[in-house]
Amino acid sequence: VFLPVSLPAQEDERAVRAAYLFTLTKYVSWPAGQGELKICSKVDASVGMDLKQILDGKVSEGRTVHVVLNPTGMEQRQCAILYLGSVSPAKIVIALQELGSAPVLTVGDGAGFARRGGMVGLVRTEDQIQLHVNLSALRAAGIQMSSRLLNIAIIDQAERQSR
Amino acid sequence: MKLPRHKSLAADITLIVLLASGLSLVVFTAAMMLFDKSSSIAQSDARLGTLADIVGQNSTAAVDFDDRRAAAQVLQALRKEPRIVSACLYNASGALFSAYYREASAAMCPRVNGPHAESTPNLRSVSRPILRTSEVVGTIYLLGDLRDLHTRQRTLVELSALLAVFSLSVGGIAGLLMQRRISKPISRLAHGMHEVTSGGTFESRAAVEGSRETMELAQEFNLMLAELERRDQIAKQAEAQLQQEASTDALTGLPNRRLFLDRLPQIIALAQREHRAVALLYLDLDGFKLVNDSLGHSVGDTLLCEVAERFKKHIRKSDTLARIGGDEFTVILSSLHEAGDANIVAQALLSSLTKPFRIEGHDITIGASIGVSTLSDAQTEGDDLLQQADSAMYAAKKSGRNCTMFFTSDMSQIARERLTIENELRGALERGEIYVCYQPEFSVTTGELVRFEALARWRHPTLGQITPDRFIPVAEESGLIHTIGAFVLEQACMEALKWKQPLNNPMQVAVNMSAIQFNSEDILKTMAEILNRTGIDPGLVQIELTESVMVGSLRRSAEKMRKMQKMGLSIAIDDFGTGYSCLSYLPELPINAIKIDRSFTNKLCQGSETVKMVRSMVDLAHSMEMRVIVEGVEDRTQLGLLREIGADEVQGFLLGRPGPNPSSLAELGRRSDTGLLMEGQCTIPEPIRREAQLCRSGIEYNQTTCLTEAMPTPQSSAVDTTGNPCSPTWQAFTPTQLSRPGNKN
C-alpha cells in the first residue's frame, strides 16, 4: 500500500481514500466474511473508475476485492462496503434506508456522515484524513471493527433517528 | 621460659572465623548480585520487548492510516515507563513514522535497517516488527535505560557491606567466645606443663577437658607424665643402687673400704664427744690365699661370704663390720666400756672360725689374725687407728697366726722394718745373698747321720744376717717364696750329689716347702724339672711340709702329696703338734714321717706331761707306720729321754748346727756315732761346733736360754773374719769341684 506523506492533488486524495477503503477491510469483520470482497460505490463515474482501477483484484485477508460501481438495490445489500462519497444528507438517509439492517459497512466523506447514520466517515483535517466512526450503526449492522482502528478514530454519537 | 610474643591460638581462631564468615559473605553477595543483575537485565529486556509489542499493536492502525498524531499518542503512553529513553516507530518502508524521546538530549532514532545503538550495561535496546495479524506494517524500536538497575545494585552493595560489617562483628564476638573454649584448656594444659618443669616433680596431672583433641592432648600428656614418673623412679632406684654398690662390698654385702673410711672418723668423733672407748679390729684370714689358689676363686668367694656371716653373729648392731680388702675385714667397736672388751669380741670372732667350713664338698679350715687398736692408743685420726690395727695384725700373724694382738708402740717399727725387708728381698737371690745351710739329722738307734736338712739363709750387705722367720713370711706374701724354694731345693739336690763321693754312700736331704709353694699349680712340674736337671735319686729327698698345707682342701693336698710320693720323694710333716692341731687329717694323708716341734723338746726336761705327750705322738706315728724325727735337741738329757721314748731320728744344736758345707759334716757325723750319741755325753765335736758358729746368725727365733747356756763359747779363731759364712778354711774339706753355696757361681 502506498501511503503518501501528504496529499498534494485531488487525484492523489482519491487514491488515498481508495487505499483507506482497502485498509478498512483489514480492520473490519463481517458476519459472513467469506468469498469475494465487494466494494461498491455510488459516486461520480470518474471517482468510481479510479476506485475500480486502484482496488479491483487486490487481496485483503485472503479475499479478492471486486469493485462494483452503482449497484442496484438488491446488489448493494450484497456489498461489504458501500462507499457513498460526498453525498448530501438526504441521499445518505435514502441510501441507508435502502440497505436496511444488511451487514454493509457504509463509508462516506465528511464529518456529518457518521453523525447522520453512516458508519465510517472519512474526514479531511489539515493534511490528514481522519476516521469518524458511528459505533451504534456498526453494532446495528452486526459489523465488528477492530479496537486498534477505533483507537485512532473519532467516535461520533449518531443523531437520534429512526430506522 | 617466656616465649617470644607470637600470634596466639586465640587470635588465629578469631581470624579464621572472621575470614571464613567474611569470605562467604562476599562470595554470597557477589553471586547474588551477579544473578540479580543478569536476571534484572533479562527481566528488563523481556519487559522492553513486551512494551514494544504492546506499542506496536497499538500503532498498527495509526501506521496503516498514516495517523501520526495517534501514533505519537500511543508512544506518549510510554512516558509512564521511566526506563524508556526513546521509542521509534517505522512504517513498512522503513521510514521513521513517529518518535518519542524522554529527554531532548536523547540519542536520535537510528535508521530502521541500520546498526542499532550498541547494548551497553546501561542501555538496552529492542526492535520488534509491528504486525497486523501476520502482515508486517512497520517496526518499533525501544531504547531502555538500566541506570536505575545499577543504582539499585549499588544500594544492594552498600547494604551488603553494612550487613557484612554487622555480621562480622557478631561473628568476631562469637569467635572470641568460642575460641576461649578451645584455647583455655590448652592454656591450662600449658600451665600444668609449666608446673611440672618448674616443680621438678611428675606427680601433678593435667585436667582432661575441652575439645576432643585437647582432651586427647591432656590424656597423652598425663600418660607421658606417668611414664616420666616411672622412669624417674627407676633412675632414682638405680641411683640409690649405685650409691649402695659404691659403698657396699658386692660379694659379702658388707660395707666396703670406702664406707668404712667414711664412717670411722664419724664414729671416733661421736665416741670422743661421749667419752667412750672405740676399738678397731683388723682381721686377716690366715691361709685364705691357699684356699683361693688351690680350690679356685668361687670357693674362695663362698668362703668369704660364710666367714662374713659367722662374724656378723658376733658383733652388735652398733658395730661396723666391713670388708676392706681380699681377705681383710675390719670391725669398729663403738661405745665400749673399756678398751679391753675388744679382746672378748676378737676371741669370739676367732672361735667362730674353729668349725671347718664345708664348701663344694671341701672341708676348709681357716684361721685369722686379728690386730686391735683402741682410741686411747691413737691420736684422733681414723687413719692412725687403722694403721695401728694393721700393724698389730701383722704382729699377730707373725706371732704364730690365729691369735689376737693389741697394738703397741714398737709395732710401727716392726711394720716399717717389714717393708724394708720386702723391698730388699726382691733381687736378693740374683745378688747371691740367699744361700743354703745344712743341719744334720741322726739316727737315734745307730747314731748314724741319716740326713741333712737344707735351710735357707739371707745375708744382706748392710742389714746383715736376716733370720728366716723375718724374711720367709715376707717371701710367702710377696710370692718370692716360689723362686727361693726352688733355689733351695736345687741347691740341696746338688749338694746331696756331692756327698756321694766323700761318703761313698747316698745321703738323704730334707727340704722345707712352704704351704704357698705346695699349693701352687706347677709345683710338681717345677720339682720334676729340678730332679731331672740335677739327676738325683728322688728317694734321697724328703719334703717337709707344715700342717698349714691342710688349710684348704685336704683331698687335694693328699692327692698332691701322693703324686710327690710317686715321684719317689718322701713326705714329712714339719713342726708337728703346733699349728692346726687337728689330728683327723693324719690318716688321710700319705705321710712318711713326722717331725715333732722343738717346743715339745724344750719342755721335755720340765715335766712328765710333755714326755707323755711326746711318747703318745711317737706311738701314734709308729702305729701309722711313720718315722718320728725330733728337732731342737739341745742337751743330752733330752736325747736320753727321746731314745727312751723311741724317737727314730733327732736333730738339734747338740748334734749339729746348720752349716754351709755339709760334706765335711758328713764325715764328722759318721765319726760322731761312736762318740756323741753312744756315749751320751754332752760334748760337742770341735768341727761341729765350728760349723755351728758359721751359721749362728741363722739360729731359730725361739731358741731358749738353756740352749745358749749349753753351748760352749765358740773359738774366735774359727770365725771367718771376712763375714763370709762359707769360710775358705772349709774349702780344705770340700772337694775341689764343689761350688761354694754362699757365693755366686
User: pLDDT by residue (tens digit) across B512-536?
Assistant: 999 888 888 889 999 999 999 998 9
- Examine the pLDDT at B729 and tell me if it is beyond 50: no
User: Bridge partners of B265?
Assistant: none
Pairing of strands A81-85, A105-109: parallel
- Examine the pLDDT at A6 and tell me if it is beyond 70: no
CB B706 within 8 A of CB B633: no
**What's the pLDDT at B113?**
61
CB B666 within 8 A of CB B650: no
| CA–CA dist B472, B478 (Å, integer) | 10
Chain A residue numbers with beta carbons less than 8 Å from the beta carbon of B68 are: 128
The average pLDDT across B452-480 equals 89
Quote the cell numbers at residue B410.
Answer: 714398737
- B370-426 confidence digits (pLDDT tens): 999 887 644 556 677 888 888 888 888 877 777 888 888 787 777 788 788 888 898
Chain B residue numbers with beta carbons less than 8 Å from the beta carbon of A20 are: 65
Please enumerate, as own/partner, the contacts of B671-676 that have beta carbons within 8 Å and a separation of 24 or more. B672/B442, B672/B447, B672/B449, B673/B442, B673/B446, B673/B447, B673/B448, B673/B449, B674/B447, B676/B447
Q: Is A159 on the interface with B (CB under 8 A)?
A: no
Interface residues of B toward A, Cβ cutoff 8 Å, are 57-58, 60-62, 64-70, 74, 91-92, 132-133, 135
The average pLDDT across B170-193 equals 81
| CA–CA dist A152, B74 (Å, integer) | 9
Q: Is A27 on the interface with B (CB under 8 A)?
A: yes
Of A5, A20, A61, the CB nearest to B65: A20
- B652-690 confidence digits (pLDDT tens): 888 877 877 655 555 555 444 433 443 333 333 343 343
CB B93 within 8 A of CB B99: no
Confidence of residue A3 (pLDDT cuts 50, 70, 90): very low
The average pLDDT across B428-455 equals 89
Quote the cell numbers at residue A19.
Answer: 487505499
Q: What per-residue string of b and e applies to A117-150 under the rule 16 or more CB within 10 Å gives b?
A: bbbbbbbeeeebbbbbbbbebbebbebebbebbb
Of A1, A20, A152, the CB nearest to B62: A152
Q: What angle is formed at CA B367 by the lines to CA B365 and CA B373, rounded to 5 degrees?
A: 165
Chain A residue numbers with beta carbons less than 8 Å from the beta carbon of B58 are: 148, 151
Q: Cell 717393708, residue?
A: B419
pLDDT higher for B352 or A74? B352
pLDDT higher for B202 or B352? B352
pLDDT higher for B663 or A54? A54
Of B67, B132, B133, the CB nearest to A128: B67
Q: Taking CB atoms and an 8 Å limit, are B64 and A5 in contact across chains?
A: no
Q: Is A74 on the interface with B (CB under 8 A)?
A: no
User: Bridge partners of A65?
Assistant: A37
Residues of chain A above pLDDT 70, percent: 88
Q: Taking CB atoms and an 8 Å limit, are B70 and A152 in contact across chains?
A: yes
**What's the pLDDT at B568?**
93
- Examine the pLDDT at B595 and tell me if it is beyond 90: yes
- Examine the pLDDT at B711 and tell me if it is beyond 90: no
Chain A residue numbers with beta carbons less than 8 Å from the beta carbon of B60 are: 148
User: Bridge partners of B650?
Assistant: B442, B630
pLDDT higher for B439 or B199? B439
Nearest to B489 by CA among B465, B517, B469, B466: B517
CB B143 within 8 A of CB B107: yes
Quote the cell numbers at residue B8.
Answer: 596466639
Amino acid at B371: G
Helix (H) or strand (E) holding A16: helix A10-25
Q: Does the CA dihedral B225-B228-B232-B238 come out positive or negative? A: positive
Size of interface A-B (CB pairs under 8 A): 40
Q: Cell 679356685, residue?
A: B296
Quote the cell numbers at residue B707.
Answer: 740352749
The structure's pTM equals 0.43
Per mean pLDDT, which range of B279-293, B304-318, B459-473, B676-690 is the poorest?
B676-690
Per mean pLDDT, which range of B1-15, B121-135, B262-276, B361-375 is the poorest?
B1-15
Of A5, A131, A148, the CB nearest to B60: A148
Per mean pLDDT, which range of A147-156, B295-304, B579-588 is the poorest?
B579-588
**What's the pLDDT at B736?**
29
Confidence of residue B43 (pLDDT cuts 50, 70, 90): confident
Chain B residue numbers with beta carbons less than 8 Å from the beta carbon of A151 are: 58, 61-62, 70, 74
Chain B residue numbers with beta carbons less than 8 Å from the beta carbon of A152 are: 61-62, 65, 67, 70
Task: Flag whether the ipTM exceeds 0.85.
Answer: no
Nearest to B378 by CA among B475, B279, B288: B279
pLDDT higher for B105 or B734? B105
Please enumerate, as own/partner, the contacts of A73-76 that have beta carbons within 8 Å and a separation of 24 or more. A73/A98, A75/A40, A76/A40, A76/A42, A76/A104
CB B626 within 8 A of CB B597: no
Chain A residue at shortest CA distance from B60: A148
Q: What angle is formed at CA B599 by the lines to CA B598 and CA B604, rounded to 5 degrees?
A: 90
Q: Taking CB atoms and an 8 Å limit, are A3 and B66 in contact across chains?
A: yes
pLDDT higher for B2 or A92? A92
- Examine the pLDDT at B575 and tell me if it is beyond 80: yes
Quote the cell numbers at residue B152.
Answer: 539499585
- Examine the pLDDT at A9 and tell me if it is beyond 70: no
- Largest interatomic CA distance in chain B: 201
The average pLDDT across B328-357 equals 87
Q: Taking CB atoms and an 8 Å limit, are B61 and A128 in contact across chains?
A: no
Q: Is A131 on the interface with B (CB under 8 A)?
A: yes
Q: Is A155 on the interface with B (CB under 8 A)?
A: no
pLDDT higher for B500 or B616? B616
Of A3, A5, A151, the CB nearest to B61: A151
Helix (H) or strand (E) holding B650: strand B649-650
**What's the pLDDT at A5?**
44
At residue B623, the 3 state secondary structure works out as helix
Give chain B's radius of gyration (CA, Å). Answer: 62
Of B65, B91, B135, the CB nearest to A152: B65
- Examine the pLDDT at B63 and tell me if it is beyond 70: yes
Quote the cell numbers at residue B719.
Answer: 770365725
Chain A residue numbers with beta carbons less than 8 Å from the beta carbon of B64 are: 1, 23, 26-27
CB B58 within 8 A of CB A151: yes
Q: Taking CB atoms and an 8 Å limit, are A27 and B61 in contact across chains?
A: yes
The average pLDDT across B130-151 equals 84
pLDDT higher for A2 or B374? B374
What rounded mean pLDDT belongs to chain B? Answer: 79
Chain B residue numbers with beta carbons less than 8 Å from the beta carbon of A149 are: 61, 65
Distance, first Cα to last Cα, chain B: 85
Chain A residue at shortest CA distance from B134: A61
CA distance B150 to chain A (A): 37
Contacts of B19 (CB under 8 A, 6+ apart): none
At residue B558, the 3 state secondary structure works out as helix
C-beta neighbour count of B22 within 10 angstroms: 16
**What's the pLDDT at B512?**
93
CB B606 within 8 A of CB B569: no
- B71-114 confidence digits (pLDDT tens): 888 888 888 888 888 888 888 888 888 888 888 777 778 776 65
Q: Cell 521510514, residue?
A: B95
The average pLDDT across B550-554 equals 70
DSSP letter for B739, please.
Answer: P
Quote the cell numbers at residue B526.
Answer: 717345677
- Examine the pLDDT at B567 and tell me if it is beyond 90: yes
**What's the pLDDT at B739?**
32
CB B25 within 8 A of CB B33: no
CB B303 within 8 A of CB B364: yes
Of A129, A148, A149, the CB nearest to B57: A148
User: Bridge partners of B380?
Assistant: none
Confidence of residue B510 (pLDDT cuts 50, 70, 90): very high
Chain B residue numbers with beta carbons less than 8 Å from the beta carbon of A33 are: none
Confidence of residue B489 (pLDDT cuts 50, 70, 90): very high
Q: Taking CB atoms and an 8 Å limit, are B133 and A61 in contact across chains?
A: yes
